[in-house]
């Protein structure tokens, strides 16, 4: 009889099987300021505060994630992928995502809906849809990542490479991350986004054929937990482009900067 009564208790004490699912979603509001790459861009004057969404969801080896804390763009792209291999230090993934934003007469999506005079008359450049491989190494407070992807959407149909090195510093309750990045852009990619077709040319915007280019990036971001659910995020990033991009008639200079203050709620 005692043995029978003990069975339910023992059953309750059995450890739960680990779930195949894991997820974290956060919503926030970001106040930002930008020196845009594009000529005539209003920066943050049209939309000084924007909502942000970050998603990290995985089921077994499949995942969806929003690479965060890289201030190369206000609109973080989402990656879909599959873990091919992972251990304590290394991770190899097959990935699918969009790396380049839509570009049109109104600039990038965060620039608002008003036509920018310096861009008036250009055709819309679509975002890409790229498949590739990502290799990552995690080593204490250091993180290395390299991604090689090819566009299959019909936008520019060529390769893109990006590599990042992140160094994390813990200072009291602050989590500070320093980021160095390198992007290599093919000639076809640069020509598609920053080239000028004969139909787009004007007296002040000559025909331009893009050339292979690179981008160097430095960023610093910090996270501070306000409480268990709310996070304060501060960040600043600067990118420098080579002449293949900066020589384009729709590009203002070879430098692009972005700063932001973000408050987000973690579900």
Q: What is the pLDDT of residues 149-172, one digit of tens each?
A: 999 999 999 999 999 999 999 999
Digit-coded pLDDT (tens) for 114-129: 899 999 999 999 999 9
Neighbours of 240 (CB within 10 A): 16
d(CA 65, CA 55): 5
DSSP 214-230: EEEEEEEEEEEESSSSE
Distances (CA, A) of 5 to 1, 9, 205, 214: 6, 8, 85, 70
Using the predicted structure, report yes or no on whether residue 3 has a pLDDT greater than 60. no
Question: Which pLDDT does position 162 carry in this prediction?
Answer: 94
Nearest to 181 by CA among 224, 140, 132, 147: 147
Using the predicted structure, report yes or no on whether residue 2 has a pLDDT greater than 50. no
Report residue 211 CA to chain centroid gap.
Answer: 23
Beta strand ranges found along the chain (DSSP E): 21-35, 49-59, 62-65, 79-86, 90-97, 130-139, 142-151, 159-171, 174-185, 213-225, 230-241, 255-266
d(CA 101, CA 109): 8
Which of 28-32, 45-49, 188-192 has the weakest average pLDDT?
45-49
Question: Which pLDDT does position 246 carry in this prediction?
Answer: 97
Digit-coded pLDDT (tens) for 48-79: 888 888 889 999 999 999 876 666 555 556 78
Q: Residue 43: phi, psi to the nearest 5?
A: 60, -130
Question: Which pLDDT does position 227 carry in this prediction?
Answer: 94
Using the predicted structure, report yes or no on whether residue 259 has a pLDDT greater than 60. yes
Q: If you average pLDDT over every residue of the chain, what do you get?
A: 89
* Separation of first and last alpha carbons in the chain: 46
DSSP 50-98: EEEEEEEEEETTEEEE---S-TT-SSPPPEEEEEEEE-SSEEEEEEEE-
| Higher per-residue pLDDT: 221 or 16 | 221
Question: Which pLDDT does position 18 carry in this prediction?
Answer: 63
21-266: CATH homologous superfamily? monomeric porin ompg (2.40.160.40)
Q: Can you name the residues that pair with 175 across neighbouring β-strands?
A: 170, 223
Distances (CA, A) of 67 to 71, 98, 159: 10, 12, 20
Q: What is the pTM of this model?
A: 0.86
d(CA 109, CA 102): 7
Question: Which pLDDT does position 9 carry in this prediction?
Answer: 43
Question: Which pLDDT does position 112 carry in this prediction?
Answer: 80
């Amino acid at each position: 009889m005692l043995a029978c009564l003990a069975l339910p208790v023992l059953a309750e004490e059995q450890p739960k099987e680990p779930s195949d699912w894991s997820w974290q979603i956060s919503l926030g509001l970001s106040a930002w300021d930008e020196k845009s790459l594009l000529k005539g861009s209003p920066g943050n004057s049209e939309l000084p505060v924007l909502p942000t969404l970050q998603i990290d969801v995985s089921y077994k080896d499949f995942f969806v994630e929003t690479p965060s804390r890289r201030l190369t763009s206000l609109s973080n792209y989402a990656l879909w992928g599959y873990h091919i291999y992972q251990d304590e230090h290394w991770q190899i993934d097959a990935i699918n995502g969009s790396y380049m934003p839509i570009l049109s007469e109104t600039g990038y999506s965060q620039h608002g809906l008003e036509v920018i005079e310096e861009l008036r008359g250009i055709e819309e450049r679509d975002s890409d849809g790229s498949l590739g491989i990502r290799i990552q190494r995690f080593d204490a407070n250091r993180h290395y990542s390299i991604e090689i992807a090819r566009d299959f959407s019909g936008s520019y149909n060529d390769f893109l490479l990006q590599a990042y090195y992140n160094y994390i510093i813990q200072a009291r309750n602050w989590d500070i991350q320093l980021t160095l990045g390198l992007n290599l852009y093919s000639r076809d990619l640069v020509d598609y986004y920053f080239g000028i077709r004969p139909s787009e040319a004007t007296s002040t915007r000559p025909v331009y054929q893009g050339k292979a280019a690179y981008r160097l990036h430095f960023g610093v971001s910090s996270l501070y937990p306000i409480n268990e659910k709310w996070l304060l995020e501060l960040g600043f990033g600067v990118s420098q482009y080579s002449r293949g991009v900066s020589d384009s008639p729709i590009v203002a200079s070879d430098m692009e900067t972005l700063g932001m203050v973000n408050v987000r709620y973690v579900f």
